[in-house]
Structure 1
Amino acid sequence: MNPSTLSSKKTGQVSKSKLRRRKQLKPYKELPQNQTPSKCRVCGNPAIGYHYGAPSCNGCKIFFRRVIVTGRKIVCPKDNNCFYGIEVLELLFFSPDMSKRICRACRLKKCLEVGMNALAIEAEAISDEGKALRNELMRGKETIAVVSSLIVTEEDLLDRTIRQLKLIESKIEPLHRAGVPPGYRDVRHLEEILDAPVTLNISDIPNLKLCSHPCTLGNSTYRKPVNYEHSSFLAAIESSKMFDFSSKIDLDSKVALMKHTTVICSNMMNAYFSMNEMKSDVLLYPDGSHIKPSIGDVKLLQKTLFSFLNNKVDNIEYLLLKAIMMCNPVVHGINLEDQKTIEIERNRIMKSLLSYSLFQHGTLHGPSRVAEILALAPIIENQSKHQKDFHVYLNAKHFQEHLNQGQLVRKCISYSYDGILES
């Protein structure tokens, strides 16, 4: 065959494979990455590049090539359990040299699992066993592809988690930005909202009512403008319904969880929106107006925003941290069985945060970045607690002022809003 024809065919195959890979890019890989593979996917030692389709060190590259070329039969003396317990060591930020802890059979199996392609080895087999192994791999190429597709790697888990969180955020974003129309209030209690199907539009809220009496004090008449606080709370509540754990826990546990986490997640959405969308270092409403807190100290409402700015939190870190804060299994009022369900989801998201940090910052700085992100949790929790305390104080003060003037007209608020802030 003409060499030029072979070359053109090979080029065509390469271009097609490149296009296929581009279509399957992971969300986090769209971000800038200025580093070569730092870790061998087989043994955990420093990688020197991509070999036969996977990041690997020189030792694993040579090992894989030698086994495929010679075709030796190798058997694990531990029933293929050499990797048992090693993943736990990795999660504790200790990277064991797995090439010294596992047998040759398990090492070969790991090579195939992480994506090393035996068909990419160009050397000829030097024995009948090697030729038989090569032919077996050729015949079972499709089977190997199917098996490989069923193996869930850390990268796949991270990809799946990020896609899920991005989808949830895209669905609740319009609700977060909409705001409840001036003078209207949502008469539903938190239990009703959580027990209802997902509602993503203000117009779909059942029994949205216009306040019959505006809030009056003395000669002043005040009707609250667009209520962004309530729509932000609703966005946090509706997002919780789209998490995997939501359908597995009972209503009482959902209510207890959302009374604790709604303000937290709402503050995080407001902070990231102001920082990322509005490019602002102060809190802004979705219409661009400044949030004017009734609290004297403006810094109190902006603690979450300042922590995001100081730590340069990116979109995926924000989504993962918000999900971790949402999946809080130790909230008072959640039964033991539901705590376990929520904890499973939180651990999955925590593992994704670790994987993302390692991919973005490498094995040297990745763990410290995880610590930086998780250190924001107490700051965000503290802001939520102060807001709840001050809300109770304001309600008592407002009630007393009305009582002194012989007025007991309820403000234009929502029952769920009050129920959350008074919890």
Structure 2
Amino acid sequence: MENKELCLVCQDFSSGYHYGIPSCNGCKTFFRRTVMKKQKFVCQFDQNCPVDKSIRCACRFCRFEKCLKVGMDQSALQASRDPIGYTKRTKKPERRPMKEISSDESSNESPERQITPTRSFENTLNLLAVREKSANELRLSSYLPKRSLKQALCSKPLLNDPIFMNKHASRSPRHNYDNLRFITQDDYHYWHERDWFVLTEYAKTFNIFKNMSYHDKTELVRHAAIVIPVLNQVYNSPDHGLDTVVFPDGTYYDRTHEPTRPAGLNRKKYQVLDLVLKPFREMEVNFNEFSAFKAITFLNPDADVSLETKAAINEERVTITKHLYSYMVQKDGLEKAIYRFGRLILMGTTMSKMACESKEAVWIADFFENIGFTSFAKELIFGDN
């Protein structure tokens, strides 16, 4: 009879009992290597990262802590019986280029290897990709709380809560569709609220964000309130052509003029299609590149924050930008990487201009009561408290 018992660490299928508990080969090997080599890891977040079969490789500190928590016994290892090294190979395999993160690949790679300084970008890009994967899972869920902006920014980060993510992002009803339907004003409202909710949770996963004053937190999130939802909507849209953005519930918009919407918001829609969707598709931006570009876009020192916060944001942003460039050079080669990297980064300037014009359109629409904003939206966009 097939063994359907699950690994207590990552919930993948167990290959049997190892070191006292049912576990998969990946977690068994990770635990053995960590103990035998006496490795020490550091968590980049709150020491509470989710550990499941799709992202078990993201944080080695939290994975090892999970191993101990569920009962893996260090004393069960024996040096003579649990050797570390290449027992079946005469030499190490040639290192392959880093690939886009995926659940299939994460179970086959050997993520426990030490990251050398010359390839430190791998660690940064992986962490950003894991963060983005969790954010998108939350966006796809049906969970949407009603709360104030202050409650949203001062509460515990949900993306770092494995119990919450397992319950609401992995198991709850998720958006899906069988047929496309043209978007309505209510649909715009709904998806803006969802993307703003996810934005606040995404923001709280950055270490520098935790140390900001409440004023700086609100200003940074407000500055990103137009561009980050646009990036989410465009990158995660199924490909129905260069003139169509599709949401997870099957609603979509294209170049069709919407006479009931303010002219400025119709103009913003065309800008999204021309300045974001088209370049993304032409450059074939992959998940790692998108995750890094989104973080760079969010960490914008042009926000109305304190000088100390501007310096911290800029330092973090420069680090991510350097690592993104290193990744693209390693993946594409120097000549192609310079072209793609330059084109991607310059999109940030274009999007900032688009965001300013869009906010003006939103203010005008609100003044003439063309759009019924929720109290949360008014706090976020207009600063109403």
Taking structure 1 as the reference length, the TM-score comes to 0.53
Is this contact kept in 1: 2:97–2:330, CA < 8 A? Answer: no
Measure, in 2, the Cα distance between the counterparts of 1:355 and 1:173. Answer: 25
AA at the equivalent of 1:291: Y
Q: Which has the larger radius of gyration?
A: 1
Of 348, 373, 376 in structure 2, the residue corresponding to residue 416 of structure 1 is 376
Is this contact kept in 2: 1:304–1:383, CA < 8 A? Answer: no
Structure 1 match to 2:250: 288
Deviations along 1:172-209, one digit per CA (max 9) or x if unpaired, are 1133234677xxx8341x232111112357998xxxxx
Of 373, 382, 395 in structure 1, the residue corresponding to residue 353 of structure 2 is 382
Of 296, 311, 315 in structure 1, the residue corresponding to residue 287 of structure 2 is 315
Unaligned runs of 5+ in 1: 1-10, 31-147, 205-221, 400-409
> What are the residue-to-residue correspondences of 1:8-407 with 2, within 5 Å?
13-14=88-89, 17-18=92-93, 26-28=98-100, 149=114, 152-155=116-119, 157-178=120-141, 186-188=146-148, 190-199=149-158, 224=186, 227-274=190-237, 277-281=238-242, 282-291=244-253, 294=261, 295-297=265-267, 298-302=269-273, 303-332=275-304, 334-398=305-369
Structure 2 match to 1:136: none
Measure, in 2, the Cα distance between the counterparts of 1:389 and 1:288. Answer: 29
Q: What fraction of aligned residue pairs are identical, expressed as a percent? A: 17
AA at the equivalent of 1:326: F
Measure, in 2, the Cα distance between the counterparts of 1:418 and 1:345. Answer: 29
Shift of 1:239: 0.6
AA at the equivalent of 1:318: F
- Worse overlay, 234-243 or 194-203: 194-203
Deviations along 1:253-309, one digit per CA (max 9) or x if unpaired, are 1111111012211110100011xx455431111112213763334413423212312
AA at the equivalent of 2:251: S
Sort the Cα spacing of 1:244 and 1:154 in 2 relative to 1 into closer, same or farther, 3 A. farther
Taking structure 2 as the reference length, the TM-score comes to 0.58
Measure, in 1, the Cα distance between the counterparts of 2:293 and 2:146. Answer: 29
Count how many residue pairs are aligned between Structure 1 and Structure 2: 257
Is this contact kept in 1: 2:296–2:321, CA < 8 A? Answer: yes
For residue 417 of structure 1, give the secondary structure of its aligned residue in structure 2: helix
Measure, in 2, the Cα distance between the counterparts of 1:187 and 1:259. Answer: 16
Unaligned runs of 5+ in 2: 1-85, 103-112, 169-183
Is this contact kept in 1: 2:101–2:288, CA < 8 A? Answer: no
AA at the equivalent of 2:246: L
AA at the equivalent of 1:364: E
Shift of 1:27: 4.0
Deviations along 1:82-113, one digit per CA (max 9) or x if unpaired, are xxxxxxxxxxxxxxxxxxxxxxxxxxxxxxxx
Measure, in 2, the Cα distance between the counterparts of 1:422 and 1:337. Answer: 24
Shift of 1:170: 1.7
Is this contact kept in 2: 1:265–1:326, CA < 8 A? Answer: yes
